Amino acid sequence: MIRSQSRAAELPPANRLWTAWNALLVIGLALGLATAAAAQDEKIIKSHGYSFYGDLKYPADYTHFDYVNPDAPKGGEISFSQLGTFDSMNPYSRKGRGGALSYMMYESLLGEGTGNEAAPADVYGEQYCLLCESLEYPEDKSWVIFHMRKDATFSTGDPVTAHDIEFSHNLLLDQGLQSYADAVRKRIPKVEVIDDYTIKFYFTDGISRRSLIDQVGGVPAWSKKWYDDTGARLDESRLTASPGSGPYMIDSIDVNRRIVYKRNPDYWGKDLPFNVGRNNFDTIRVEYFGDDTAAFESFKAGEYTFRVEGDSKVWATGYEFPKVQQGQVIKEEIPDGAPPTASGIVFNLASEPFQDKRVREAVALGFNFEWTNESLQYGLFAPRASFSQDTPLMASGKPEGAELAFLQDLGDLVPAEVFEEDAVVPHTSDASRLLDRGNLRRAMRLLDEAGYTVGGDGKRIGPDGQPLTLTFLLNSSGSPTLRAVVENFMSNLDAMGINAVLENVDSAQYTSRERDRDYDMVFDAYPSLLGTGTGLAQRFGSEAATYSLFNPAGLASPLVDAIIEKSLAAETQEEEDASITALDRVLRHEFFMIPVWYKPTYWVAYYDQYGHPAEQPAYALGYLDFWWYDADKAQALRDAGALR
């Protein structure tokens, strides 16, 4: 589902417009009859779910997902913290800061999990009907028809119809992000409402069929009636949210302090197999804090009950308070089966110094992972190298086999070093001292080669005669540990003669400046690579590189574009795997970010009033989705005074 414009979306790749549709009107009668006869022979696939290769784990008569507790009790509350501020409950606009979870009231034809996680969370690349009861499409995937459930309703009681789906699709094109609209218009030329509960999407000829059916199946369903009645727009900041059809609805809003969502007692889909064992809490409460230190202290005091820990120092030393020692707060590491998010220090490639790869490589040598991990992060992390870290798709050594053949087919676009050198991995540093002398010397040589000479004051001067100045944009509400990491990195840049400026700004300024790419460097992330999809073009492709919110580096590489296009044309899993390995290799070669660290588990702490499946699904933590509330344990905590 297209949840929020602060997140990656699966979007169709660029191709020609749909003038061919009009040409069909002038085809001769004989050809028309022949086409009709051929269409009768074409196999139509009808299903309760969708995956590109057609394989689905769950049969049409499934009763629930394997990992959920089908008898999970309903009730209680789960609460967690959010840093910063919000001034809108419309997360689909560039304007304003959307409130946490403000997308979760909305469902789509093909369902997703609460909190924007996968559902089902134990398989990759499979989606199952939610607002639809079935879909059908031809083998060539040139169109898709969704047959909708007639009992689906918005929280207002109004039915969810094909007209609402058509309206939502068009609203995203007319008032959504430009990068989204530009991509979709070229790939989905026509939408047809066949009747109130049947809708058909047509796809442009001659393009990859990747992420087309799941794209239209993931559009959030908004109420056309509400938008018509109110005159609201999708591209505006507003605290009034349109009604959704999902299991939760807004209960209360206290701007910059708190958002409470409550279960819709009349939720139409509560008994669907898709929802059995899920959406178990009566209320979900989000508490806002100005910084993480205040948030952690409030957790210890019992002001909220669930915490996903991201600060290694806090994880290593902060959970020694009495409630943990007495078993009232559970500290737990839960396996994470997905490759880690590709987070790191991202270079703004529009910044003039960073247009020279040698400068980027020199700056990267200022990051000392080994010292950072040992001195600031308690040795809890491993260095991340790949966009497919620790999976069979991770590029290693020199290309060989299917990956080599894939790259060879791209011809002269592929630089010789991609074939001749091992896949790029992070440099190593001396863990005993912040400034690694060997790496400093290498960095100085690279800067010299790039034309940045050392002036009389020891500062680097560029070819334009100006000092080499680089700004790092940091959100002041983030963790103190991250700030310490960045400050030490910047001190190493100073040692190279770079004028390194840390701009530590509040959440509102950070959001605005990040959207406008007003930085040289920023701590951000790209998605990990598990398979192909047209979202790759929006994240890594050239077409929207200058303005896409999903490509913070502004990466625009003809080689990356060619790999994505060829990957989208893969017809077997083996071909797809080879293409993703090649993409991982080339993204690392392009060197648009400094990879930092990762861990293979979730760090969570929570008051001992929740249950979760004994066997964790690979692709979601799911604490908002399939965990549940234990009323007896909660009462014991209250009796002991552990919770406020």
Mean pLDDT of 115-131: 93
Q: Provide the angle, in degrees to the nearest 10, between the axes of the packed helices 178-187 and 162-175.
A: 120
Mean pLDDT of 599-628: 96
Asked whether 186 and 14 are in contact (CB, 8 A), the reply is yes
Mean pLDDT check: name the lowest of 69-73, 498-502, 527-531.
Answer: 527-531
**Is a pLDDT exceeding 50 seen at residue 84?**
yes
**Is a pLDDT exceeding 50 seen at residue 229?**
yes
Strands 132-138 and 628-629: unpaired
pLDDT at 61: 98
Per-residue pLDDT of 359-381, as tens digits, reads 999 999 999 999 999 999 999 99
pLDDT at 478: 87
What the chain holds in terms of domains, given with CATH numbers, is 20-73+83-230 (3.40.190.10), 248-337+601-639 (3.40.190.10), 342-598 (3.10.105.10)
Torsion of CA 246, 251, 255, 256, to 10 degrees: -70
Mean pLDDT of 531-547: 88
Cβ partners under 8 Å of residue 297, min gap 6 = none
**Is a pLDDT exceeding 80 seen at residue 21?**
no
Mean pLDDT of 446-452: 97
Mean pLDDT check: name the lowest of 31-35, 503-507, 573-577.
Answer: 31-35
What DSSP element (H or E) covers 12?
A: none
Question: Rounded mean pLDDT of the chain?
Answer: 92
**Is a pLDDT exceeding 80 seen at residue 19?**
no
Q: Give the tokens for residue 559.
A: 């080689």
Torsions phi, psi of 541, nearest 5?
Answer: -85, 170
Cβ partners under 8 Å of residue 34, min gap 6 = none
Residue 592 or 571, more confident: 592
pLDDT at 10: 29
pLDDT at 12: 30
pTM of structure? 0.86
pLDDT at 552: 96
**Is a pLDDT exceeding 80 seen at residue 22?**
no
Distance from C-alpha of 552 to C-alpha of 547, rounded to nearest angstrom? 9
Model confidence at 538, pLDDT cuts 50, 70, 90, reads confident
Mean pLDDT of 153-164: 98
Question: Is residue 265 reached through a cis peptide bond, with omega within 30 degrees of 0 on the bond before it?
Answer: no
pLDDT at 49: 98
Per-residue pLDDT of 308-338, as tens digits, reads 999 999 999 999 999 999 999 999 999 998 8
Q: How distant, in Å, are the alpha carbons of 316, 357, 498 from that of 363?
A: 30, 10, 9
pLDDT at 7: 28
Mean pLDDT of 420-446: 97
pLDDT at 115: 83
Mean pLDDT of 493-501: 97
Mean pLDDT of 190-211: 95
pLDDT at 91: 92
Model confidence at 41, pLDDT cuts 50, 70, 90, reads low
Please state, as a whole number, how many other Cβ atoms lie within 10 Å of the Cβ of residue 199: 25
Model confidence at 26, pLDDT cuts 50, 70, 90, reads very low
**Is a pLDDT exceeding 80 seen at residue 31?**
no
Q: Which of 84, 19, 6 is nearest to 287 (CA)?
A: 84
3 state DSSP class of 46: strand
Mean pLDDT check: name the lowest of 201-205, 538-542, 586-590.
Answer: 538-542
3 state DSSP class of 49: strand
Sign of CA dihedral 353, 427, 601, 257: negative
pLDDT at 168: 97
**Is a pLDDT exceeding 60 seen at residue 568?**
yes
Asked whether 136 and 47 are in contact (CB, 8 A), the reply is yes
Mean pLDDT of 393-405: 97
pLDDT at 5: 32
Asked whether 550 and 538 are in contact (CB, 8 A), the reply is yes
Q: Give the tokens for residue 574.
A: 């083996």
Mean pLDDT of 87-102: 93
**Is a pLDDT exceeding 60 seen at residue 29?**
no
Residue 95 or 60, more confident: 60
Distance from C-alpha of 132 to C-alpha of 556, rounded to nearest angstrom? 37
**Is a pLDDT exceeding 70 seen at residue 133?**
yes
Mean pLDDT of 271-286: 98
pLDDT at 2: 41
Please state, as a whole number, how many other Cβ atoms lie within 10 Å of the Cβ of residue 522: 23
Distance from C-alpha of 453 to C-alpha of 190, rounded to nearest angstrom? 57
**Is a pLDDT exceeding 70 seen at residue 16?**
no
Mean pLDDT of 106-127: 93
Q: Give the tokens for residue 241.
A: 């949210």
Distance from C-alpha of 259 to C-alpha of 101, rounded to nearest angstrom? 9
pLDDT at 34: 36
Mean pLDDT of 69-86: 97
pLDDT at 177: 81
Burial level of 400, CB count in 10 A (0-12/13-18/19+)? Answer: exposed
Asked whether 226 and 10 are in contact (CB, 8 A), the reply is no
Q: What percent of the chain has pLDDT over 90?
A: 85
